[in-house]
Amino acid sequence: MPKLKKTAAQMVAESRARIEEIETTDLIAMVGDPDVVIVDIRDVRERQRSGFIPGSVHAPRGMVEFWVDPDSPYFKEIFGQGDKKYIFHCASGWRSALTVATLQDMGFDAAHLKEGFSTWETQGGPVEKIDKG
């Protein structure tokens, strides 16, 4: 395999250098704020396995750019509220850093949860579990 021009870790580091990162404790304080939209980009299986932040919106990583683009046939109204603060998260902060950098390139203002969901529960964040019936 030929050497990559840039590693995934380099891409994440470059993204983090130019986006807003939110600490876990700060986002915990924002849960329930009507002006904040928390967006979970993890795979549905991750959400089923470890739960999710109550009130968060699930937007699978592969669809985010299409869901935020008003010109896309996949646009979701939840992303058309310009007066809201959007904070994206994944499990560890890598995918969400790349996502937010891409969204900023598109002109969509957003931030991301620096450490992702990995520290959420241990730092006292509320978690809703999916009933597996």
- Give the tens place of pLDDT for each residue, 52-74: 999 999 999 999 999 999 999 99
Q: Give the domain CATH number at 29.
A: 3.40.250.10
pLDDT in tens, 10-41: 999 999 999 999 999 999 999 999 999 999 99
What CA–CA distances, in Å, run from 21 to 53, 76, 80, 87, 125?
Answer: 17, 24, 22, 9, 17
Q: How confident is the model at residue 2 (pLDDT cuts 50, 70, 90)?
A: confident
Domain count, the chain: 1
Range(s) of the domain holding residue 90? 8-119
Residue 60 forms part of a structural domain: yes
